[in-house]
Structure 1
């Protein structure tokens, strides 16, 4: 049987349940303080701009529990396989609940509990993988088909799988339906290279970094990597109202899916391909200048993705500076390629063109950590 592989390792499968704390609205409990990735990504500043309202993120995984930090954002979904409660809202593994919490946990009163990147986004849970086992690749395909039929805005896939005919068809149909697909690149040593569907053209492929901002040793490398996000000791929700700490590109993928939800909420008419482009174009470059196989285009920058004046794909590919009077991608209504995804990965996310006969290269360098802030769209 062909199976998918979850891209996360539980460093701590479940932590003791909710802690009683003083009823002080200024108090941040210990769950929130363990979410180092929120501070690293300046999530609080980004959430003053967008919180993911109006966006539905499908999570094909081990189901999603009705965790107190998450329950208000949890839609009824589906069980692709038997063993759940029928609508995806039961998880006996913890992986799916952890991913959903990283995307859209809303926390509890008085700053208790955990917080997702997009705390007003909705989660569409899809149970396709049995507890503590890898899911079947065609069950994953069925989950993606369900998400497409339900008009999800984003599909977050924290797994790698063999590229079966049905899975490839499901992924490509979702891309054609203007859905942003975010997928884990894979974990060493199980994955020697970027797995599927992260390797599919048009899918946003995610690698990982640690708290020091450097490449996480567990994260695979390869030419398909688009962006990276925190992937080490990531604290999130788990089953039975508890919490978990995980390491792997699963976690980084859920975080990037939350970032995509912020962008889709602020720019609801932006095609899926432009949402992906906005995330890659504003990423903070790491490693060698430009795209590289460990960091892709760099670490996601939530605030820049929401505020930078990012030229649309076609403009950036033709000229380094948009012509006078051309508005940014943020102002464009949905249209153009309809979010079908990149014709080639490099053209969409790097923005390069070599003029025939002269070899002239126009390229807008990726941002580095010491660069000034990007221009803000007005």
Structure 2
């Protein structure tokens, strides 16, 4: 599918306008309600179910008992493929519905697209099309999986969705900025039992507001897997930005239909963890519609779904071990080993669930608890177990002072000793004065540098959009 490039928003100084959905969709054109036959063809388009081991993984787990939070534009729980999937919701923007189930922001349909790829149940064929499908039903795909063989089936069709609606991409009518929305959404998700958090959003800055630190630390302390989009070159993101750059977050890059790195629907960074399909995707739209779309916003819920499958099969497994399973079993691609294009490799759902994977001592993607004391100068306390061991400072050796010996007062013939005394006295005074000047300069320089660092902390420049093309059904 060819992408239609969206209009790029103008540069804005406000942080509330600086973050955007990871694959901001193009303005939707004419849409039609999906008829039964079209819905069935939607399932046929889901090539990733077989190519990435997802159908095979369903023999072991379908995400039962796992709650996944979708921090996005809101999720339409009335979509036929999401019936019974959404079990809780909130709005952190001040502009959406209290239950987070109405789409808001620059791309209100985005959250529903994400949710259907993650935990869509599909739906049963309509009565008036059953006779037309007798041949297919003799060997039905996904029989017994989800709610039926029509529509979009998610990676974790028995997982439960929590939706937190955020207003991103354009000025929020209520005035609540992303500095407040994102941490509020993360905390709400954790407090409401999310074991996985999906964040199909990105920024063009590798840094993030300091207000986010405590929320992501909270998620880490409560053993939650956080998955984020790498961003899209087509939307102006060349290098992944926050939240993908936050330590401990599993960042997802995008692949084309052939399993190669996508040129438009991906970005690159040393923080990439795994790569998943990001082109020729199909998902559900509010109102029971469907659309073809592309972007790492779609790749991210595929990985979040696999995390849900793992957490369902291994309920006692820590978030660090879940992430390690996903990246350790990924198929290496590109430069051998970890690289900024594919990360640790291409997603393999079946291997992530079934392979023998040695345990790790900590999250291989890092820890926000260890990052904060170093980069925020200890302003947010990390857990005691994560605190670095501080070594005692060793005092420098200082020679013992000697007792001065009294000497007779100089006589008129003792001119040279007097000159020497005054000369050495002047030399010592000069050295002390020079030291004081250098100390003052160093302090002024340090204050200036600190001011620059503080001013830069948490700044997020404006974001470009991504691509999405509607399909008439």
From the superposition, tell whether residues 177 and 115 of structure 1 become closer, same or farther in structure 2 (CA, over 3 Å): same
Residue number in structure 2 paired with 1:201: 247
Aligned: 1:29 with 2:40 = yes
Partner of 1:199, secondary structure, is: coil
Residue number in structure 1 paired with 2:59: 48
Residue number in structure 2 paired with 1:18: 34
In 2, Cα distance between equivalents of 1:240 and 1:294: 36
Please list, as runs of the form range in 1=range in 2, the aligned pairs for 1:192-341 lying within 5 A after superposition. Answer: 192-218=238-264, 219-314=266-361
Partner of 2:161, secondary structure, is: strand
Give deviations 1:174-233, integer Å, cap 9, x for gaps: 112100000111221522311111111111011010111100112111111010000012
Give the root-mean-square deviation of aligned CA atoms: 2.3
Question: TM-score when scaled to structure 2?
Answer: 0.63
Mapped contact 2:250–2:365 kept (Cα < 8 A): no
> Which is richer in helix?
2
Query: Where does structure 2 lack aligned partners over 5 or more consecutive residues?
Result: 1-13, 126-148, 369-473
| Distance apart, 1:293 and its partner CA | 0.9
From the superposition, tell whether residues 270 and 277 of structure 1 become closer, same or farther in structure 2 (CA, over 3 Å): same
Residue number in structure 2 paired with 1:177: 222
Give deviations 1:83-106, integer Å, cap 9, x for gaps: 333111122511000111111000
In 2, Cα distance between equivalents of 1:200 and 1:131: 21
Mapped contact 1:231–1:247 kept (Cα < 8 A): yes
> What is the aligned residue count?
316
In 2, Cα distance between equivalents of 1:340 and 1:124: 27
| Distance apart, 1:55 and its partner CA | 0.4
In 2, Cα distance between equivalents of 1:200 and 1:81: 22
Match for residue 82 of structure 2 among 66, 70, 82: 70
Residue number in structure 2 paired with 1:374: none
Residue number in structure 2 paired with 1:5: 20
Aligned: 1:166 with 2:211 = yes
| Distance apart, 1:37 and its partner CA | 2.1
Aligned: 1:79 with 2:91 = yes
Aligned: 1:186 with 2:205 = no
From the superposition, tell whether residues 284 and 190 of structure 1 become closer, same or farther in structure 2 (CA, over 3 Å): same
Point out the structure with max Rg over C-alpha. Answer: 2
| Distance apart, 1:300 and its partner CA | 0.8
Mapped contact 1:230–1:252 kept (Cα < 8 A): yes
Residue number in structure 1 paired with 2:438: none
Mapped contact 1:171–1:197 kept (Cα < 8 A): no
Query: Where does structure 1 lack aligned partners over 5 or more consecutive residues?
Result: 23-27, 315-336, 345-378
Match for residue 366 of structure 2 among 342, 351, 358: 342
Question: TM-score when scaled to structure 1?
Answer: 0.78
In 2, Cα distance between equivalents of 1:35 and 1:132: 31
Mapped contact 1:202–1:340 kept (Cα < 8 A): yes
Please list, as runs of the form range in 1=range in 2, the aligned pairs for 1:125-144 lying within 5 A after superposition. Answer: 125-129=163-167, 136-144=178-186
Deviates more, 1:115-124 or 1:183-192: 183-192
Partner of 1:85, secondary structure, is: coil
In 1, Cα distance between equivalents of 2:111 and 2:337: 33
